[in-house]
Structure 1
Amino acid sequence: MNPVPSVTAPSVQPVGSVPDGKVADFLTGKFVNDTPEEYVRQNIEKALVRQYKYAPADCAPEFTIRVGSSRKRADIVVFDKGADHTQTNAYILVETKRADVKPTHRTEGVGQLQSYMASSLNVRYGMWTNGTDRLCFAKRGDSKGGWSFEEIIDIPGFGQTEADAQRPSRKDLKVATADNLLFAFRRCHNYIAAHEGKQKTEAFWELLKLIFTKIEDERSPKLNFFATPSERSSSTVSSTAKKRIQGLFEQRVVKKYPTIFDAKDAYIDLKPEVVAYVVTELQGYSLLRSPVDVKGVAYEEIVGSNLRGDRGEFFTPRNACRMAVSMLDPQPDERILDPSCGTGGFLITGMNHALEYIEKSERGQWEDPAQGTEYEQAELYRRRDEYFRQCVFGIDLNPALVRAAKMNMVMNNDGSGGLFQANTLENPHKWSTKLHEAIPLASIDVIVSNPPFGAKIPIDDEEILSQYHLAAVWDQDENGAWAIRLDKQGNHVLQKSQPPEILFIERALQLLKPGTGRMAMVIPNGILNNPGNAYIRNWILKKAQVLAVVDMQRDLFQPNNDTQTSMVLMRRLSADEEAVAEAEGLDYPVFMAVAETIGHDKRGNVIWRQLPDGSDALVKRVEVITEIDQATGNEVLREVEVTDRLVDDELPEVAGAYREWLAGQQ
């Protein structure tokens, strides 16, 4: 086996730079101070353009308006279409604040926004938000010639009436951008926790019931997941909304997903006014059509804050998932499994990678690749559904994580039917009949996994340990050869316990198809480096071809865990190859790389790539975004050019370098 020297990954070419402490404004491209308040504003600017469909030319940040005898700066102003940027032509005002400024703040709260609205004659709507809180208002004339401000559910999008914004139809649903869905989930979770007196985890599960109901409602011909302004504002009227949503939950969720929601879970245990609030925060989005990463960040934040890490479970960052999946390149006809699936992040990344092939193949046959006919769309969904049912599988021991993963899968195209709660390391004959039939040993094409690891959760059950060569005691003779120690009866001598990550390596290889099955697994570097683990490395080389080893930056799992890990790719050897490996060893090149940057520091803060002069690099890229056609309500694809700061993350470049290297080996 010949390791390949670290490959120099192709670099992303910057098109400009951002001075230290600055960020490029989404609307103007000008540099502004990178502050917590600016973070909120940039998210809202993106939402106004991409979600609410206002033209960038009709929006302006930091616009000066006259309030009485003073001149103030409104954070964002939306003007009438094509109109001059004057206070007279202002249509919507938005005030954005940092997260710790409350709506009741004496000078920076909602009162500030309303004073600006009152001073702008033709302004009709306003929004105040600190990210966590978001309040929208309509300006109404009163009988005395003054103004009043009525709280509404949402501001109208471009071309929308106010009534449409308060109860959106399918064509009015918004595809989430940036962190706006994260903000919405956070608002809902915090509202439940504050108004129900529930424990954090209890609040989380009730929120997931409503998210699930929202998703299933989007799949129905007519949308009924909504609450009206009066239902949100009145505790008496809100009971109507609660009754409607409870009916949807029972009919479309509980009956469809009995393995997720049993009889005791069939009731949404929230006050009517809380249900109405959460529904209004979610009803304007299309959760099915929003980008995978946008949903992933939002979902995994609330999942992680409630279910993380009590058994060595540290969820794999999305960029590491994408790198591994890109390197493995799972195809639509390949069965993919995560044997320790957690909340499903790794599996969803792999699943959607394969779905891109299906989507590209189907759209390539459409007369209009951006928007197919009803028949063409139906055929695409049929192929996707077939893939979900036949090719996507996950197992996890933690029932709460399996349940959360199933919900995550449903929100990301589905595939939840292939998820099972079981002990992957247990003898497969003890698995349920359904699991054993779905995932027999030697039946999987691709495995992606970050197994739980750590000496604090050892496997010491002799019945489990007896299945594994790597649970035995190994001895090395004077010639360097390794062999399992045997007792007087010729049985393997077992170690008293073994960390789970070691056993997961062997179980994963058992699950793969001989000769073709391949895997990517996060493995602690101690397994790869420590002298005491040499027998593990020897065993791996007799059972698998090591395709690649990527040494991950130590902060990959921070701020939760600082274990040094590598992403290791392997292919299971065929029986003939095993025989050769056992007799004389195999000689082949191995791709090796060191990821020195992974996009965040040990506190979890984003790190931006810098140019030699110390400024942040700017890059242009083309994004394919999903939108909802305003006329038909169908999804359409559109390309947009985006200029943004470049995250200092080498993982995409490592994946690209591996694919290039692999092509050269063939």
Structure 2
Amino acid sequence: MSAPSLPTSPTVVPVGSVPEGQVTDFLTGKLVRDTPEEYVRQNIEKALVRQYKYPAKDCEPEFAIKMGSARKRVDIVVFEPGSEHTQANAFLLVETKKADVKPTHKTEGVGQLQSYMASCLNVKYGMWTNGDDRFCYAKRPDGKGGWVFDEIIDIPAFGQTEEDAQRPKRRDLKVATADNLLFAFRRCHNYIAAHEGKQKTDAFWELLKLIFTKIEDERSRTLSFYATPSERENATVATAAKRRIQKLFTDKVVKKYPTIFDARDLEIDLSPSVVAYVVTELQGYSLLASPVDVKGVAYEEIVGSNLRGDRGEFFTPRNACRMAVTMIDPQPNERILDPSCGTGGFLITAMNHALNHIERTERAEWKDPSNGTDAEREELFRRRQDFLSQCIFGIDLNPALVRAAKMNMVMNNDGSGGLWQANTLENPHAWRSELRKAIPLGSIDVIVSNPPFGTKLPVDDPDTLSQYDLAAVWDQDENGDWVIRRDRHGNPVLQKSQPPEILFIERALQLLKPGTGRMAMVIPNGILNNPGLAYVRHWLLRRAQILAVVDMHRDLFQPKNDTQTSMVLMRRLSADQVAQAETTGLDYPLFMAVAEKVGHDKRGNVIYRRTADGEDALVSRTETVVEIDQTTGAEILRDVTVTERQIDDELPEVAIAYLHWLSEQR
């Protein structure tokens, strides 16, 4: 096993604190009350600067305007470039509301925004949003001394024409920031459910068809995933948009991903007007260039609300995935497997960890690390594709989760070809031949997994149980050692059933390469400390070297599940080491940690770290983002510094402590 590399990004530096119940305004740096409306406003402030590229100095929150004899405060005003912040120089107005304020609200709906726009002579555009709904308007003279407000698809970005904003070119595509992509996905999902009369799950699958089509369109030289304002506004004209999008889906998605979309999925089962609406909500983003975490949060939000937990699946929070993957440190030349992959969160984290390693090493060889030549980019692409096609594998019993995982993989850099629907615990001889050839026992370098657990999911098939030592009945001999009970023919006596989490441990070790294969697995604490399961620990210590045990707070899987778990890292022993462990035992150091804070409480609410004075701590975070060059359309890396409240999460610190400890052992 190679020595893990220390994490290089993002860099987090403590910079101060904020009092409880307040947040730091993104534009001004001043403290403001932390309210549901403020949450929406902060997301839009970030979008205006990072996505729409308006200079922060030209934006101001809570700007007072004069309306007759009264003065009103606009949530956000964008002024003409470099101009004085006066009502006469206002160019764009934004009104943000909390999620339960309807756009038709008498005093706080879109009518409020339009009245503000009418009072600002030179304002051209406006946006009203509560996160779940968003309306954009252009102000036009009505020829009678007044104004009309035309709804448009999107406001123009800095330096962009209105026409280009309604049908963006590749150089206009925006990299999603904060929770704005989550808002867009949620709007689309809710719109489909409301206007098609579909069940939530059916609406979810139709939305994923359009998201897939959007991603594949971004891989093309010419963008065709768009809908015009007239197609969005007119149901008859919208049929042209649906034909165009349906052709993209049929030609580029169905043919490329036959294992995801079969004969039942050849049609986008949505009305033309709904297709046009969803397309316009997504067409301005670059899903390929948007940060992995931003996409992951947005995708897992809609996946989780539709597919979560019906068979004991409680998807691993992203911070736990990152901790485990940082500790296990998968390399680009290693075969990585999640034998209970769910929607792919754990596997995607491991995949992107290795891809980032490839990216860093390749760019370090470029003449200009931020912008390579065509030949340099082609070599980077080749290395990425080799890794994705040869090293990423996942298995899950639930076909809906496998399908969702494949879609998730494609959204997050691809690698979906190695995902399979199968029962990991059954005899591999019963697997389809392609799976047996791809993942024979003893062939995997790294496993990352959170297997399903619980007494409600017993494995009771004798043929399945007969494969496992841990499915047998164990007794203690006169020396106190655990031995398998055998019948008069010498065959192991099997238990009537066994919970899946115990069998997954043994199957995972079977899949790992002897001597070098290692894994990080979420294991219920009962397996680690229940006296009745001492035989499991006895067996495990003679088959694996335990590298680390991190006791996770019971809120980790809340609000869905409060099972106490640990993240356990282990390495499969070689045959010689197993023999030594059986006779004399093995002596080695072990890393142990207790994570008392996991970033959220039992209700799932985010919790923030406090200073000694009881105030929320602030951190400065340096992140590397991918931007699209406005002239060439090429991807360019840029570092941005973000100041925000520090989430009270000890898992990143555990990972760093483990890597330092491991380097000291060597």
TM-score (normalised: structure 2): 0.98
CA distance in 2, matches of 1:306, 1:83: 48
Aligned residue for 1:6?
none
Match of 1:259 in 2: 259
**In 2 relative to 1, CA 13–180 (structure 1 residues): closer, same or farther, beyond 3 Å?**
closer
d(CA) in 1 for partners of 2:92, 2:377: 37
Say if 2:75 is the partner of 1:75.
yes
| Equivalent residue number for residue 357 of structure 1 | 357
Counterpart Cα distance in 2 of 1:307 and 1:532? 34
**How far, CA to CA, are the matches of 1:99 and 1:41 in structure 2?**
11
For residue 378 of structure 1, what is the amino acid of its counterpart?
E
Query: What letter matches 2:78 in structure 1?
Result: V
Write the distance in 2 (CA, Å) between the matches of 1:337 and 1:548: 19
What is the aligned partner in structure 2 of residue 481 from structure 1? 481
Cα distance in 2 for residues equivalent to 1:151 and 1:373: 42
How is 1:274-285 mapped onto 2 (pairs within 5 angstroms)? 274-285=274-285
Paired residue type of 2:640? V
Given that residues 12 and 620 in structure 2 are in contact (C-alpha distance below 8 angstroms), is that contact kept between their aligned partners in structure 1?
A: no
**For 1:525 and 1:610, how far apart are their aligned partners in 2?**
29
Specify the alignment match of 1:116 in structure 2.
Answer: 116
Amino acid at match of 2:655: A
Deviation at 1:626, TM superposition (A): 1.2
Following TM superposition, by how much is the alpha carbon of 1:375 offset from its aligned partner in structure 2, in angstroms? Answer: 2.4
Tell me, what secondary structure is at the counterpart of 2:178?
coil
- 1:569-617 Cα deviation digits (max 9, x unpaired): 0000011110100101001111000000000001110000001111000
Q: CA deviation at 1:377?
A: 1.7
1:138 match: 138
In the alignment, what sits opposite 2:629? Answer: 629
SS of equivalent to 1:536:
helix
Distance 2:576 2:136 in 1: 68
Q: CA deviation digits over 1:320-368, x for unaligned, max 9?
A: 0000000001000000000000000000000000001100111112121
> Which amino acid counterpart does residue 367 of structure 2 have in structure 1?
E
1:138-177 deviation line (CA, Å, top 9, x unaligned):
0111110211000000000011100111001111000100
Aligned to 1:164: 164
Query: Aligned equivalents of 2:480 and 2:626: distance in 1?
Result: 58
1:374: Cα distance to partner?
Answer: 2.3
2:542 alignment partner, SS class = helix
Residue identity opposite 1:418 in structure 2 = G
1:386 is aligned to 386
Whole-Å Cα distance in 2 between the matches of residues 15 and 363 of structure 1? 31
The residue aligned with 2:8 is none
Q: Deviation digits for residues 497-555 of structure 1, max 9, x if unmatched?
A: 00000000000000000111000000000000100000000100000000000000100
**Structure 1: how far apart are the matches of 2:279 and 2:389?**
30
1:4 alignment partner in structure 2: none
SS in 2 for 1:548: strand
1:190 paired to 2:195? no
Partners of 2:136 and 2:155 within 8 A in 1? yes
| Residue of structure 2 equivalent to 1:214 | 214
The match for 2:435 is: 435
Deviation at 1:14, TM superposition (A): 2.5
SS of equivalent residue, structure 1 residue 420: strand
- In the alignment, what sits opposite 1:660? 660
* Equivalent residue runs for 1:322-337 within 5 Å: 322-337=322-337
Choose 627-636 or 43-52, whichever is displaced more. 627-636
1:411 aligns with 2:411: yes
Task: Work out the CA distance in 1 between the residues paired with 2:572 and 2:282.
Answer: 45
Partner-residue secondary structure (3-state), 1:566: strand
Partners of 1:83 and 1:578 in 2: how far apart?
74
Q: Deviations over 1:457-510 (max 9, x none)?
A: 100011100000000000011311111000111111000000000000000000
Work out the CA distance in 2 between the residues paired with 1:619 and 1:417: 39
- Secondary structure of 2:343 counterpart: coil
Residues of 2 paired with 1:555 and 1:481: CA distance?
A: 36
- Asked if 1:200 is matched to 2:200, the reply is yes
- Give the match's secondary structure for 1:83: coil
Q: Is 1:273 matched with 2:273? A: yes
Query: Secondary structure at 1:501's aligned position in 2?
Result: helix
| Counterpart Cα distance in 1 of 2:378 and 2:47 | 30
Distance in 1 between residues matched to 2:619 and 2:225, nearest whole Å: 40
Task: After superposition, give the CA deviation of every residue in 1:400-456 in whole Å (9 maximum; x if it has no partner).
Answer: 000000000000000000000000001011111111100000000000000000000
Partner residue in 1 for 2:6 = none
| 1:18 corresponding residue in structure 2 | 18
Please give the alpha-carbon distance, in whole angstroms, between the structure 2 residues aligned to 1:662 and 1:442: 25
SS state at 2:556 partner: helix
Match of 2:578? 578
Alignment of 1:45-64 (within 5 A): 45-64=45-64
* 1:395 paired residue number: 395
Bigger mean CA deviation after superposition, 373-382 or 646-655: 373-382
Count of aligned residue pairs for this structure pair? 656
**Are 1:291 and 2:291 an aligned pair?**
yes
Partner residue, 2:608? 608
CA–CA separation in structure 1 for the residues paired with 2:636 and 2:203: 35
In the other structure, the counterpart of 2:95 is 95
Mapping of residues 369-384 of structure 1, within 5 Å: 369-384=369-384
SS at match of 2:590: strand
The amino acid across from 2:474 in the alignment is: W
| 2:14 aligned counterpart, secondary structure | coil
Using the alignment, how far apart are the partners of 1:67 and 1:395 within structure 2? Answer: 62
**CA distance, structure 1, for counterparts of residue 62 and residue 42 of structure 2:** 12
- Segments of 4+ moved more than 3 angstroms: none
Aligned counterpart, 1:233: 233
Partners of 1:73 and 1:410 in 2: CA distance = 44
- 1:557 counterpart residue number: 557
Look up the equivalent residue of 2:168 and give its one-letter code. Answer: P
Deviations 1:51-83 (A, max 9, x none): 001111111111111112111100001111111
Cα separation, 2, equivalents of 1:659 and 1:363:
24
Structure-2 residue corresponding to 1:455: 455
Other-structure match for 2:344: 344
Paired residue for 2:511?
A: 511
Cα distance between partner residues in 2 of 1:102 and 1:606: 26
RMSD: 0.9
Give the counterpart letter for 1:308 in structure 2.
R
Task: Provide structure 2 residue ranges, at least 5 long, that are not aligned to the other structure.
Answer: 1-10
- Matched to 1:440, the amino acid is P
* 2:5 counterpart residue number: none
Structure 1: unaligned runs, 5 residues or longer = 1-10
Offset at 1:625? Answer: 1.1
- Could you tell me how far apart the structure 2 residues matched to 1:627 and 1:102 are? 34
After TM superposition, the score normalised by the length of structure 1 is: 0.98
For 2:113 and 2:123, the matched residues in 1 are separated by: 11
TM-aligned CA deviation for residue 12 of structure 1: 6.8
- Alpha-carbon distance between aligned partners in 2 of 1:22 and 1:374, rounded to the nearest angstrom: 48
> How far apart in 2 are the matches of 1:82 and 1:578?
72
The residue identity in structure 2 corresponding to 1:580 is Q
State the partner residue of 1:5. none
Deviations, residues 225-253 of structure 1 (Å, cap 9, x unaligned): 00000000101100000000000000000
Partner of 1:523: 523
The aligned residue for residue 567 of structure 1 is 567
Three-state SS of the structure 1 residue aligned to 2:332 is coil
Cα distance in structure 2, aligned partners of 1:635 and 1:48: 20
Q: Which residue of the partner structure matches residue 472 of structure 1?
A: 472
Q: Which amino acid aligns with 1:115?
A: S
Aligned to 1:644: 644
Cα distance between partner residues in 1 of 2:664 and 2:144: 79
Deviation string for 1:187-227 (max 9, x for gaps)? 00000000000111000000000000000000111110000
For the residue of structure 2 that corresponds to 1:642, the secondary structure is strand
The separation in 2 between residues aligned to 1:605 and 1:583, in whole angstroms, is: 50
Other-structure match for 2:86:
86
